[in-house]
C-alpha cells in the first residue's frame, strides 16, 4: 500500500513549512512555543481521533443501509434533507466524530444533498452545544432568536446542493 498525498495534504504540508520558517525567523522562542502548542493539541487529539475512527468503523458495520437509504438516500428529496438536518443537529460531537459518521452514512446510501444538510445541521444546530454553552451563557432569548434566524439554513444547503447536482 503506497501513500499518494492529495491536494489538501500537500497544502497543509506547505503551510506548515511556511509557518515553521516564519516562526524560526521571528525568533524570540516562538519556535519552542509552537512545538509546545503542537504537543498540547496532539495530547488532546491523539487519543480522540483513533477512537472516533474506530467509532466510524464500527458504525459502518452496524448501520442498516436500508434505513439510511430510505431515510436520507438521494431519492428522499426534501424529506431526506429535513431529516438529515435534524439528525445532524442531534449528533453530540465534534468534527472527529461527525465527519466519520457522515462518511459512514454516505457509504450506507445517504445522498450528497442529504449529507450536506447533515453537516450543516450539525454545525448550526448542535443541540449539545446549545444546552451546555449557548443557552446558559447567552440566555434563552438569544438562543431562540439564533435558532429562528438559522432554522432554514441546513435544509436550504441541501436543496441548493440538489439544484447544483442537477446542473452539473
* Position 1 pLDDT exceeds 70: no
Q: Inform me whether the pLDDT recorded for 99 exceeds 70.
A: yes
What is the rounded CA–CA span in Å between residue 130 and residue 43? 26
Which is more confidently placed, 65 or 16? 16
DSSP state of 75: G
Whole-model pTM? Answer: 0.75
* Neighbour tally for 49: CB within 10 Å: 14
Closest CA to 147 of 131, 163, 167, 161: 131
- For residue 108, the 8-state DSSP code is T
Model pLDDT, residue 67? 85
pLDDT tops 70 at residue 168: yes
- d(Cα 26, Cα 78) in Å, to the nearest integer? 53
Task: Judge whether residue 17 has pLDDT over 90.
Answer: yes
pLDDT in tens, 67-97: 888 999 999 999 999 999 999 999 888 887 8
**Residue 12 grid cell:** 497543509
Query: Residue 68 burial (CB < 10 Å; 0-12/13-18/19+)?
Result: buried
- Is the pLDDT at 2 greater than 80? The verdict is no
Q: Where are the domains of the chain?
A: 7-59, 64-167
Q: How far apart are CA 146 and CA 149, in angstroms?
A: 5
Q: How far is the first Cα of the chain from the last one, in angstroms, to the nearest whole number?
A: 33
Amino acid at each position: 500500500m503506497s501513500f499518494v498525498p492529495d491536494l489538501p495534504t500537500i497544502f497543509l504540508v506547505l503551510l506548515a513549512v511556511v509557518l515553521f520558517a516564519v516562526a524560526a525567523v521571528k525568533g524570540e522562542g516562538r519556535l519552542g512555543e509552537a512545538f509546545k502548542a503542537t504537543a498540547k493539541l496532539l495530547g488532546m487529539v491523539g487519543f480522540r481521533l483513533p477512537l472516533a475512527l474506530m467509532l466510524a468503523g464500527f458504525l459502518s458495520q452496524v448501520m442498516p443501509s436500508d434505513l439510511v437509504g430510505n431515510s436520507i438516500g438521494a431519492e428522499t428529496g426534501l424529506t431526506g434533507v429535513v431529516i438529515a438536518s435534524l439528525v445532524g443537529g442531534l449528533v453530540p460531537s465534534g468534527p472527529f466524530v461527525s465527519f466519520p459518521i457522515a462518511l459512514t452514512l454516505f457509504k450506507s446510501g445517504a445522498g450528497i444533498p442529504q449529507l450536506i444538510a447533515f453537516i450543516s445541521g450539525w454545525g448550526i444546530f448542535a443541540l449539545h452545544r446549545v444546552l451546555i454553552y449557548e443557552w446558559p451563557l447567552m440566555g434563552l432569548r438569544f438562543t431562540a432568536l439564533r435558532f429562528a434566524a438559522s432554522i432554514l439554513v441546513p435544509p436550504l444547503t441541501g436543496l441548493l446542493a440538489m439544484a447544483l447536482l442537477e446542473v452539473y
